[in-house]
Structure 1
Amino acid sequence: MSLTLYQASIPVFIRGFHNLSAVLEKARAHAEANKVDLATYVNARLAPDMYPLSGQVQGASDAAKFGAARLAGITPPSFADTETTFEELQARIAKTLDFLKTVDEAQINARAGGTVTLKVRGREMNFVCEPYLLDFVLPNLFFHLTTAYDILRHQGVPLGKMDYLGKF
């Protein structure tokens, strides 16, 4: 059985956002139980030059929506990066999931072997769709998902590996 471009992308993205949402809910419960202001978590970062939790959620969202749109050859939705609360971060996740669920499987699979061109820091980058997904989109997505998890773990939220991996 062959793995399609769609199977390697959209379901993986969706799973990652369901897991991220659950991790945020676990962080909310921990904050409430320990009288921690949720803004502490939203603004927390692992290093001074890294994005805070809010930026990690935004980065994950951008990786998935831009990746899905480029793979499908469609225009991605535009989301302002203005989230400052857990409610807004959850809404960003929901909007991302809503978009991902609209991306047509046949449209992505039809682009297998096709090309994606993007500009990164003023430089044009050209990819074949499969390496674009495997070497650029997925590592970028997982970087932001992992960093969001790590920020919350570093803040004392009792998270484990299965929280990151989610339910099977």
Structure 2
Amino acid sequence: MTLSMYQASVPVFERALSNLLHVLKKGEAHAKAKGVTDEVLLGTRLIPDMLPLTKQVQIACDMAARGAARLAGVEPASFEDNETTLEQLYARIEKVIAYVKGFTPAQIDGSETRAIELKMRSGELKFTGQEYLLTFVVPNLYFHCTTTYVILREAGADLGKTDFIAGSQQ
């Protein structure tokens, strides 16, 4: 049996975002126990030239939402980057999970050769659907989920590998 583009995308995106939600909630519990406000936690960075926690979560969500939409050949939904509380970030993650789960195998399977072009600050990137999924979306999604995890871990949250990998499935 072969792995379909749908199987390699939507369930992967859903699980990564569900685990991100789990990690973020554990980070919140730690922050509250230490008297750290949402504002401080959401502005936390690993180093000065990296994006803060809020932006890491927003980008992870965007990777999943835009990835699924582009593979399906539809215009991606737009999500405002206006979250200032953990509750708002949770709502965004949940909204994106629902959005991604709304795509069907019929919409995404067969997208391996679909032409996908992205206009970036550095220029235009051109992919086939499979290249886009495997070399752009999945690595970016996991980079930003991992960075969120590491920011929270560095802040002292009681997180381990199973939180990142198994998350709410534990």
TM class, shorter-length: over 0.9
Match of 1:117 in 2: 117
Cα distance in structure 2, aligned partners of 1:35 and 1:114: 49
TM value normalised by structure 1:
0.95
Q: Count how many residue pairs are aligned between Structure 1 and Structure 2.
A: 168
Identity %: 49
Match of 1:60 in 2: 60
Structure 2: runs of 5 or more not aligned: none
Letter in 1 for 2:96: T
CA shift digits 1:3-55 (9 cap, x unpaired): 00010111000001110111111112112222222322111001111110000
User: Partner of 1:157: helix, strand, or coil?
Assistant: coil
CA deviation after TM superposition for structure 1 residue 122, in Å = 5.3
> Is 1:47 paired with 2:47?
yes
Cα distance in structure 1, aligned partners of 2:23 and 2:110: 34
User: Partner of 1:117: helix, strand, or coil?
Assistant: strand
CA shift digits 1:80-137 (9 cap, x unpaired): 1111110011011011111101112111003222221111115222111111100011
Indicate the larger mover: 127-136 or 110-119: 110-119
Match of 2:132 in 1: 132
TM value normalised by structure 2:
0.94
Match of 1:7 in 2: 7
Match of 1:160 in 2: 160
Which has the larger helix fraction? 2
Cα distance in structure 2, aligned partners of 1:23 and 1:64: 17
Letter in 1 for 2:28: R
The CA RMSD measured in Å over matched residues stands at 1.2
Indicate the larger mover: 139-148 or 29-38: 29-38
Match of 1:75 in 2: 75
* Contact residue 45 and residue 151 of structure 2 kept, 8 A: yes
Cα distance in structure 1, aligned partners of 2:161 and 2:38: 22
CA deviation after TM superposition for structure 1 residue 57, in Å = 0.4
User: Partner of 1:112: helix, strand, or coil?
Assistant: helix
Cα distance in structure 2, aligned partners of 1:110 and 1:36: 47
Cα distance in structure 1, aligned partners of 2:34 and 2:73: 46
